[in-house]
């Protein structure tokens, strides 16, 4: 999976409205995008719906991809924006926010995953704020560089570094991360 191949597929999709080339891009990156959204939302079916929306937005905006950064970095930016937009639209989320703030966010995450096996990663993610969660997942699950995360979240590289530092600190203080169950 090289970025050169990605760029060629993007060029084919943009120049000829080639949906087969775009389909190949989706096939290559769906796992990363769905994993990112699953970890961010904690809800598998919502994450898959958001991933579909993300790829539809990506198709609409494909000509704005300049080819400078990695395609997956650009795609995760679209995914993160899609997630934030959907959250803003969600009335239910607004009600939760109004009633109990951040605590409710963490509680709703635990409710969502109650039918699944709760891994250490779920516990770690629950103690992080949304921004920290997104940045930590981009960094440690998707392997994006600090610069790529900065591009995806519209934050300066210095802020990205300090958010990661803060996230690591929270996890370190709450858990013994040496003895963990893989997420």
> Binding residues for other proteins, per CB under 8 A?
17, 19-20, 22-23, 26-27, 30-31, 34-35, 39, 48, 51-52, 55-56, 59, 70, 72-73, 120-121, 124, 136-137, 140-141, 143-148, 168, 171-172, 177-178, 180, 182-183
- Give the burial class of 104: count Cβ atoms within 10 A of its Cβ; 0-12 exposed, 13-18 middle, 19 or more buried: middle
Nearer to other proteins, 80 or 124 (CB): 124
Compute the least distance from the CB of residue 165 to other proteins, in Å. Answer: 11
Nearer to other proteins, 17 or 101 (CB): 17
Compute the least distance from the CB of residue 3 to other proteins, in Å. Answer: 9
Compute the least distance from the CB of residue 76 to other proteins, in Å. Answer: 11
- Cβ–Cβ under 8 Å, residues 125 and 145: no
- Cβ–Cβ under 8 Å, residues 55 and 77: no
Nearer to other proteins, 93 or 159 (CB): 159
**Residue whose token pair is 């930590």:** 136
Nearer to other proteins, 93 or 166 (CB): 166
Nearer to other proteins, 66 or 99 (CB): 66
In whole angstroms, what is the distance from residue 148 CA to residue 160 CA? 10
Compute the least distance from the CB of residue 134 to other proteins, in Å. Answer: 12
Compute the least distance from the CB of residue 85 to other proteins, in Å. Answer: 18
Give the DSSP H/E element, type plus range, for residue 22.
Answer: helix 19-41
Mutual angle of helices 157-174 and 146-153, in 10-degree steps: 100
Other Cβ atoms closer than 10 A to 119: 14
């Amino acid at each position: 999976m090289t970025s050169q191949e990605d760029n060629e597929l993007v060029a084919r999709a943009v120049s000829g409205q080639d949906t087969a080339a775009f389909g190949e891009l989706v096939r290559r990156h769906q796992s990363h995008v769905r994993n990112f959204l699953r970890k961010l939302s904690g809800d598998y079916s919502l994450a898959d719906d958001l991933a579909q929306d993300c790829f539809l937005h990506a198709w609409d905006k494909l000509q704005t991809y300049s080819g400078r950064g990695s395609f997956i970095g650009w795609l995760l930016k679209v995914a993160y924006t899609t997630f934030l937009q959907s959250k803003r639209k969600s009335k239910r989320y607004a009600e939760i926010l109004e009633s109990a703030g951040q605590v409710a966010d963490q509680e709703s995450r635990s409710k969502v995953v109650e039918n699944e096996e709760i891994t250490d990663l779920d516990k770690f993610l629950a103690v992080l704020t949304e921004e920290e969660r997104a940045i930590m997942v981009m960094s440690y699950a998707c392997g994006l560089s600090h610069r790529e995360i900065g591009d995806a979240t519209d934050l300066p590289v210095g802020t990205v570094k300090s958010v990661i530092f803060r996230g690591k600190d929270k996890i370190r203080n709450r858990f013994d991360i040496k003895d963990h169950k893989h997420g």
